Amino acid sequence: MAENGFRGASMAAIAAHAGVATGTAYVHYSSKDELVVAAYVEVKAALGVAGVEAIKEASAVEDVFRSLWNAMYRHLAADPVQARFLVQVQASPYAARAHEAALGQDALADHPALAVLFKELVDLPPVLLYDLGLGPAIRLAAGDGLSLSDDELDEVAAACWRAVSGR
């Protein structure tokens, strides 16, 4: 799907890419829509695990955010196809349903550091906070040809923090 987009990916093509028969794909997912949402939840869950690992050492709220940002970037940069998939979902008709399905499904959902972090964010709709805060990490990891040094990535993370915290 990340290569051809959602419209260009039939269940038969997805099954072939996975090395299974089309009928097998339908045993697990009743439709391509269901498959897309399930894949989104799985990718977001893996991001949550990466995020939890990263914020173990952070104590200050800004450090929690920056650690989370960097962990998500690095996790997705290791597999840009996942990052491109997330970008596609966010810009598709699947976005609302996928976000709703993923809510509370990852390791970060109930992490106490996240509750503290959320209290420090500006009063904007969650989708905007996500786009301003973590969206750049996802887009950079998707590999649009832009290569940044670690220092530049830290600057981007700091700019994202300023955008969502107002500081």
75 contacts 140 by C-beta, under 8 angstroms: no
Instruction: Please indicate, yes or no, if residue 125 is contained in any of the structural domains.
Output: yes
Q: What is the pLDDT of residues 41-54, one digit of tens each?
A: 999 999 989 988 88
Q: What is the pLDDT of residues 19-48, one digit of tens each?
A: 788 888 788 888 888 888 988 999 999 998
Instruction: Please indicate, yes or no, if residue 89 is contained in any of the structural domains.
Output: yes
Instruction: Please indicate, yes or no, if residue 65 is contained in any of the structural domains.
Output: yes
Across 121-149, b (16+ Cβ under 10 Å) vs e yields beeeeeeebebbbbbbbbbbbbeeeeeee
Residue 3: predicted pLDDT: 61
Q: What is the pLDDT of residues 107-157, one digit of tens each?
A: 787 888 888 888 999 999 988 998 999 999 999 999 877 889 999 999 999
Structural domains in the chain (count): 1
pTM of the full predicted structure? 0.85
- What's the rounded Cα separation, in Å, for the pair 11 and 144? 27
Residue 2: predicted pLDDT: 53
Instruction: Please indicate, yes or no, if residue 1 is contained in any of the structural domains.
Output: no
Helices assigned H by DSSP within the chain: 11-18, 22-28, 32-55, 61-77, 80-90, 95-102, 112-119, 126-133, 135-141, 150-165
- What's the rounded Cα separation, in Å, for the pair 47 and 82? 10
CATH number at residue 103: 1.10.357.10
Instruction: Please indicate, yes or no, if residue 105 is contained in any of the structural domains.
Output: yes
55 contacts 68 by C-beta, under 8 angstroms: yes
Instruction: Please indicate, yes or no, if residue 129 is contained in any of the structural domains.
Output: yes
Torsion angle of the four alpha carbons 68, 102, 40, 23, in this order, in degrees rounded to the nearest 10: 150
Which structural domain, as residue segments, surrounds residue 117?
32-165
Instruction: Please indicate, yes or no, if residue 107 is contained in any of the structural domains.
Output: yes
Instruction: Please indicate, yes or no, if residue 66 is contained in any of the structural domains.
Output: yes
